[in-house]
Amino acid sequence: MIATKAKDFEELLNRLSEAASIYIVGCGDCATVLQTGGEYEVAEMKTKLEEAGKTVTGTVVPDVTCQVLDIKRLLRGDKEAIESADGILVMACGAGVQAVAEIIDDREVFAALDTTFAADKFRGGEFYEWCSLCGECIVDQYGGVCPVTRCPKGQLNGPCGGADKGKCEVDTERDCVWTLIYNRLDKVGDKQEIEDRMAEAKDHEKSTKPHEYVFEARRG
């Protein structure tokens, strides 16, 4: 899922200084799980904006805000509230903000959240960046533990000289990812293979942005 973090409210108010009336769009998917743009947070934002003197013309929390055609249908049903707003505040990731901007093209769109990383979730309130969407997945060569993302230096041949007693020099509270890789490979009997191998540099052309997939879908 996509991790997001609420922007500082005072900074957000500054951004909204020209908009007296606001329509709020949340997201029922990732931003709900991250507690940054679900029903609860949208209602809370509405109250805070009203306390700050803004008029909130309406709110909606689509199931998945980056689903452009679905939200187009949904927002059509709230045309009046949208048209009476000076601006649209989106409490979703950057993909959601852009989906809303694609549909509502005659109003300024504001991002309420910072979009931070693709997250692996454990229990509620515990999210980790384990994949940075590099475009060429080599994680299976490292026992399913990604050095591209989980090593601050992205060491494909590690550990670096700073590893100390299995901990990372950049953050000594964390295990060096190479400790995790070796432990994992040891368990599955592949440790020798990685000790003997020198990884080649990644093909960074595969991470050129923007990516797109356009194909004949079997299902809608």
Q: CA-to-CA distance for 16 and 176, rounded, in angstroms?
A: 43
- Judged by CB under 6 A, the stretch of 27-35, 45-53, 73-81, 134-142 that binds ligand SF4 is 134-142
Q: Which of 46, 107, 153, 184 binds ligand SF4 (CB under 6 A)?
A: 153
Alpha helices per DSSP H over 63-175: 68-76, 79-83, 94-103, 147-150
Kindly provide the residue ranges of all beta strands, DSSP E only, lying in the chain, ordered along the sequence. 2-6, 21-25, 55-60, 87-90, 108-111, 113-121, 127-129
The helix/strand count (H/E) of the chain reads as 9, 7
Pick 81 or 139: Cβ nearer ligand SF4: 139
Q: Per rule CB under 6 A, is residue 149 in the interface with ligand SF4?
A: yes
Q: How many residues bind ligand SF4 (CB under 6 A)?
A: 25
Q: Per rule CB under 6 A, is residue 132 in the interface with ligand SF4?
A: yes
Q: Which of 91, 104, 176, 181 binds ligand SF4 (CB under 6 A)?
A: 176
Pick 15 or 153: Cβ nearer ligand SF4: 153
Please report, for residues 78, 89, 141, 189, the alpha-carbon distance to residue 94 in angstroms, rounded to integers and kept in the order given: 22, 12, 31, 42
Residues that bind ligand SF4 (CB under 6 A): 131-134, 137-139, 146, 148-149, 151-153, 155, 158-160, 162-163, 168-170, 176-178
